[in-house]
């Protein structure tokens, strides 16, 4: 359950997602996560680092071996989310508009 508690914290999964393509610094993460405050970012970075999912690097922060394994485990969820969003869009397009 500790993993679910960590992933359930606001911005944790988003930060991991943004690091999927390679290391990013704090400024780049803040720019990619609109609405994320710097204090929350640094708190999440500390939590994710202490859990072994990310590590500081010369270029900012990067996924560890465990973080990369998690990225692969989340791929089916990402695929499901894409399908769900498409169905939501189709459903919204089919709703009659009021005149």
Please give the pLDDT value at position 53: 96
Please give the pLDDT value at position 93: 84
What does residue 8 show for φ and ψ, rounded to 5 degrees? -80, -10
Please give the pLDDT value at position 98: 66
The residues, ordered by sequence, that sit 6+ positions from 29 with a Cβ below 8 Å of its Cβ are 15, 18, 19, 36, 41, 60, 61
Mean pLDDT of 40-66: 97
CB 71 within 8 A of CB 63: yes
- As beta bridge partners, residue 55 has 62
Confidence at 91, pLDDT banded by 50, 70, 90: confident
Mean pLDDT of 79-86: 94
The larger pLDDT score, comparing residue 48 to residue 72, is at 48
């Amino acid at each position: 359950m500790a993993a679910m508690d960590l992933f359930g914290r606001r911005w944790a999964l988003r930060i991991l997602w943004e690091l999927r393509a390679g290391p990013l610094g704090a400024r780049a993460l803040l720019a990619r996560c609109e609405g994320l405050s710097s204090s929350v970012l640094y708190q999440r970075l500390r939590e994710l680092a202490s859990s072994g999912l990310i590590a500081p690097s010369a270029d900012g922060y990067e996924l560890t071996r465990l973080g990369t394994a998690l990225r692969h485990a989340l791929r089916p969820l990402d695929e499901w989310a894409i399908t769900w969003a498409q169905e939501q869009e189709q459903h919204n397009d089919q709703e009659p508009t009021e005149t």
